[in-house]
């Protein structure tokens, strides 16, 4: 029975899982982008959201929570001074994941997890036929309506 079992265990015990999550969080904060398996990305998504929200609050208690989760000074400094101010208008959803494909060895789905730039989701490239600009609309010739010709039926 799985009563009261929370989170992904990833085939590790508590200490190994904590070390793995800290390493992934550290890499994500330092490089602002990591490539990892989809399961690991889903497992740390809530953790990075909570850390950014706590670092945005700026109180001593919230900063102590961030320091206890990630004890490295340079990572805390970057998170509190550089990353958190970007997201002052957002309350959650600070990361995005892009599927890269399956890993050759075991077929695991690899994703690129990255922090959003300036708190905005980048617009995807528009397709060629999506919308016309005003200049393009002027160039387009309107079709002329052809007169209706009734065809005589032969018996």
pLDDT digits (tens, 9 = 90+) for 13-49: 999 999 999 999 999 999 999 999 999 999 999 999 9
- Number of domains, the chain: 1
What distance in Å separates the CA atoms of residue 9 and residue 11, rounded to the nearest whole number? 6
Looking at every residue in the chain, the average pLDDT score rounds to 87
Looking up residue 111, the CATH number of its domain turns out to be 3.90.1030.10
| Exposure letters 106-136 (e unless 16+ CB within 10 A, then b) | eeeebbebbbbeeeeeeeeeeeeeeeeeeee
Residue 64 pLDDT greater than 80, yes or no:
yes
- Element spanning 100, H or E: strand 95-102
Report whether 25 contacts 48 (CB < 8 A): yes
43 within some domain: yes
Q: For 153, left (φ over 0), alpha (ψ -120 to 50), or beta?
A: beta
pTM of the model: 0.73
Q: pLDDT tens for residues 68-112?
A: 999 999 999 999 999 999 999 989 999 999 999 999 999 999 999
* Residue span of the structural domain in which 24 resides: 14-120
44 within some domain: yes
């Amino acid at each position: 029975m799985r009563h009261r079992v929370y989170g992904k265990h990833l085939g590790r015990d508590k200490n190994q899982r904590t070390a793995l999550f800290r390493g992934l969080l550290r890499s994500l904060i330092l490089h602002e982008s990591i490539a990892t398996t989809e399961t690991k990305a889903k497992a740390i998504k809530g953790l990075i959201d909570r850390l950014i929200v706590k670092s945005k609050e700026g109180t001593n208690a919230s900063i102590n929570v961030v320091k206890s989760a990630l004890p490295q000074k340079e990572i805390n400094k970057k998170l509190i001074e550089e990353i958190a101010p970007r997201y002052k208008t957002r309350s959650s959803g600070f990361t995005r994941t892009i599927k890269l494909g399956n890993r050759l060895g075991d077929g695991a789905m690899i994703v690129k997890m990255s922090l959003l730039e300036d708190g905005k989701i980048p617009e995807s490239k528009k397709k060629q036929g999506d919308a016309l600009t005003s200049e393009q609309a002027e160039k387009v010739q309107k079709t002329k309506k052809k007169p209706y010709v009734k065809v005589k039926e032969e018996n």
